[in-house]
Structure 1
Amino acid sequence: MSIPKFLFLTLLFNLCSCSIALIQQDILAYPRYKVVLTNEKVPESTKNVEVPTSISNTMVMMSSLGQPFSCTIPNVQVERERLEREKEEQAKEETEQDIQATIDRGVALLAPLSKNCIRFFANTHQYWAYEYCHNQYVRQFHVERTHDGKVEKEQETASFYLGIHPGAETKTVMRKVGDKRYLVQEWTNGSNCDLTGEPRQVEVQFHCDKHGQDFVSSFVEVSTCHYQIVVSTPRLCEEMNLSHKHHAESHVIECKPIVPDNLIEQEQTEKEANNAKKEQEEEEEEEAVRDLDILEKMDEKDILLTMISDLTEQINQLKDQMKAKPEVNYYTLTKENAPNQISGKEIQHILKQVKRAESKEQHDNKEAYHQNYHE
């Protein structure tokens, strides 16, 4: 068996082993690896040239069709350390106001839990059942079931309060464990403990769970009459600072197809030709835009010249009208026309009327000229 094939089988076995170990933890919620096929190709002449790094390893794998791939497998431990450093740096930048804002947002997101109580058993063979009622209490009780031949009846024979919600005095804190954050409340003043004589108390934890409904994922008695309950809900996941970010993060195995060198050279040549064609098309488009601008400017010039020509024609028409004005003829009266003789005053009066008519006509012609010019 060749070394690359052996390494491939070893990797496949390890991945399968990880999946089997996580069956009880919902493997769909914890993707560990993601294979990404890239468009970048590796020439055959360099397929055996590995570049060792501290954060990844490179190996050759074969597909079911015999296509070889050069795959880069990340170093999970190095990647995890990098993420931890980033989160530590982010935590240093977080202020008390930021933390309190996250807590307030989380408490508000939990409010709809008050609509229904959650009943559960710590395990399937326990005598006691439990009930969590949000912002009210955590209760332990036992149910006796009887059957009279017709109907099955249930009756509680014992009940103890493990903790009562403090009401307005409730103090909510945010805890950090690794990359996980969750909210914690202390509920006290439960039923008196038979062993200590003190009221029972319970620590209530609220965890983000993207892949489930509202449920109690854990219940333990950490010490005598002191309990711990974990309420898992997708509601908290709406607050990013309380969401399990690492669940969405998977380690990327990047694989590049290994192809003959001449194919890469051919693709490179085609790429250069396409780039040259694209540049030429862009230049032609720019030239077409420039030509269009020139045509638009020429159109504007033609419009202006047409307006000037029209105005010139109107002025010439006015001049012709002025030249075609009828002349006033004066006649000398002789003695032969004595019976029709006109006095000097009447002649002066007639001359004044003629001058007024001439002035009025000149005035009207000027107004017509100005009006046509402005139009």
Structure 2
Amino acid sequence: MDKFTVVSVLCSALIANAQQDVKGFDDTVLFDIFWPGNNVDEELGKNEEIIVTSAHQEKYRCILPSIQEKESQADEKYDGPTALDLISPLFTQSTCSYRFETYWTYEVCHGRFIRQYHEDREGKKVKLQEYKLGQWEEKTYDRILEKVKAEEQDKSHQIPLKKIDNINLPYLEVSMENGTLCDLNYNKPRSTKVLYVCYVHGKNEVYSLKETSTCQYEIIILSPFLCSHPKYKPKETGENKINCMPLEGAPDKPYSLMKMKIDSLKLRRNSDFDRIKVEIIDIKDSIKPPAKKPNLDPSPVKSFLTGKNCLNGGTGWWKYEFCYGKSVEQYHVDKDFKKTAIKLGRFNKETHLDWIKTHPQKRPKPKGERKQLSHFYSDGDVCDKTGKPRQTEVKLKCLENTSPSAVSLYLLEPRYCEYILGVESPLICDILAAADENGLVEDNMVDILDGGETVSETTVNIRL
């Protein structure tokens, strides 16, 4: 349509202008086109302008806003504390910020350490699984302060930006090194980059946490302390007006634009009318016998038990794939769709039965008392640290009172290359009763589940 043709031409012109100074181009700057007719401020005539022509040969003179002038006016002289000095109360007051996820809890103690942990409570016993994602060194503050001062004195230095919710925000980076050693990263210590950004209503909370590469993390903290520094305030993202005036007898607005608005108004009215008609219900028609219960499709249960449908999870750098009765895999897919995968274990029935004999506490509880099953997956890829194949205990846990399609996967590593994969899903609930004394579901029980005799309606409706 003509409106989009005009927008394309104007955007091309703006980009062409921005390419003369690439640093001045920012895709978060917003533009809007106005059609004021011939009533326009003469001062705008001093700005750059272009001529555009619609598909109906309607010509318009469009005046482009001056973005660079707005940016230059935003520069302020500042002689106050450095950005690091402004957030230093977080370090001196031993403040900690937390992020709670399905399984892991992340603790960011500013100026001390970053910790990832999970606690399992069994009566009075507490089992703690934790990793240090980075620690603060004694000389860290002085080193960063010296760097920040040098950067703030350098007028040509550009403060780095991070796009958050489509807004470029300046940030102060603090590196935390020397975390727990990572066997997946050639036994190097874990490390984290903590990015502090200005947010007036923030309470120094964790906005986001992600694993940017193997055992390397990035955490964004929303802090009001930085907002008193003018260079760390968010850039204004108000709309910039592009005024387009008609030439050579063209209408105030292009014909196709007006037609599009009229068609849109008609569609809206028709939609409202249709909605009103749907809401008019005849009482006689509303009294009907209850419909028969539809036949439920139990195939997802059988597909899961036969290993055809695998469960995938993980929110960090590494993702996990669990194929029931087949394998456990840890993998990462990069931007070029290249997949790096590590087999954490393969299922072998005889090996599992031997493991159950050796570890009788892993046998399932009597039917009716069961909440989970444990399966043993062995013969994974060889571990560089131990020289032995990786192995995984898979804990299948019934997840109740939640969406039938909910699946939670988490991975623990209590010892080098010996893992525990937790799989929590409503899909597991009806499988518990079908498992034998070794925690296995035999083929005949799979057929019973597939027939829908013992499977609840909620479980059968699962979509993987």
TM-score by length of 1: 0.39
Q: Which has the larger radius of gyration?
A: 1
Higher helix proportion (structure 1 or 2): 1
Higher strand proportion (structure 1 or 2): 2
TM-score by length of 2: 0.33
